[in-house]
Amino acid sequence: MPKYDVCLSFAGEDRDYVGEVARHLAELGVSRFYDTDEQAALWGEELTEYLDKVYREDSSFCVMFVSADYVRKIWTIHERRSALARGLTDPHRPYVLPARFDDTPVPGVRPSLGFIDLRNRTPRELAVLIAEKVGTPVEPEPAGWEYQLFSDTAAMHLRKLKDKQLSHEMQFAPDVRILATDTEAHDYYLMRTGVFDNIINGVADLLSAGKQQWAFGPAGRAGDRDRIKHLAGQFAKSYESLLDWAADLRGSSTPARYTALYAATAQLADQPLKQVEEFLEQLAAAAERNAGDLQLTLSYNRAPVEAELKKVQTT
């Protein structure tokens, strides 16, 4: 009998997502090979032999997390070859379960092989599918599942923005335009502050009572999964719009007297971004307790911007 219900084959670049899948599989009672949990077992082993056995013999199924990084990494090539070799000894039973982050072709995997698209599927949703595939009973979704789905979906989208998040933290942005005159710099500043207000107002609208009822359903009735995921996706896009808005200002070259104003204005996004991140963390914790409430008020301090604007206007 196989040692594991499923082994997970993935590139390190996709570990954030796969790690969440592994955690949920454990919660569901699915035995899985996930390398981080096997450090003691792997220590001192001849890994080419050990991992060949894991991916070719020791598991009932192999979930292959396909991405551009997956097909080019040395160790994932080794894992993939071992998993595909299983088909030679057990050709009448599905073994490799492709789960795709993108459309990268995988050597040895036929395009006709059924796969799961991960681009809009949360780690929790994939874990449930895996549990069903291996035959582990899955209990009905608990009360408050709608909040968990919203939190999971938004968090999944935010993980894809890591590079933008890091660039924002270090206050870096590539050059995007040159504003050569004071008039150009002033007009563009006014336009971009208007865009900021629209983004902030848009977040409030997304979490309005009307939008929540549209997605989560009226009291006493279940929500709609597609609507909840769409709402969460739009919420994440608003977060990304704030990152892009700040980067746009930082990437604008202006006359020297406007430099400090643009820098201070870009920092207006700092508080709302942090508040969105904390909101999702709190919502996830509440959902774990089968409770949830979508309430978020974004605040920010305009005083530094007003001070810099005053300097520009008086010089």
Residues 91, 170, single domain; the answer is no
C-alpha dist (Å) from residue 82 to 2, 32, 56, 77, 285: 15, 17, 5, 9, 39
User: Residue 217 has what pLDDT?
Assistant: 86
Containing domain of residue 69, as a range?
Answer: 4-134
Q: Which CATH number covers residue 194?
A: 1.20.1420
Interatomic CA distance for residues 41 and 23, integer angstroms: 19
* Structural domain contains residue 13: yes
Domain count for the chain: 2
pLDDT tens figures, 144-200:
788 889 999 999 999 999 999 999 999 999 999 999 999 999 999 999 999 999 999
The band of 295, judged by pLDDT with boundaries at 50, 70 and 90, is: confident
Taking all residues of the chain, what is their mean pLDDT, rounded to a whole number?
A: 92
Residues 298, 214, single domain; the answer is yes
Of the chain, the percentage scoring pLDDT greater than 90 comes to: 76
Residues 181, 46, single domain; the answer is no
The band of 306, judged by pLDDT with boundaries at 50, 70 and 90, is: very high
User: Residue 93 has what pLDDT?
Assistant: 85
Q: Which CATH number covers residue 118?
A: 3.40.50.10140
| Average pLDDT rounded to a whole number, residues 209-234 | 90
| Average pLDDT rounded to a whole number, residues 98-110 | 93
Domain end, chosen from 104, 134, 164, is at: 134
Residues 293, 173, single domain; the answer is yes
Residues 214, 270, single domain; the answer is yes
User: Residue 290 has what pLDDT?
Assistant: 57
| Average pLDDT rounded to a whole number, residues 66-94 | 90
**Whether the Cβ atoms of residue 212 and residue 294 lie closer than 8 Å to each other:** yes
Residues 196, 221, single domain; the answer is yes
**Whether the Cβ atoms of residue 55 and residue 83 lie closer than 8 Å to each other:** yes
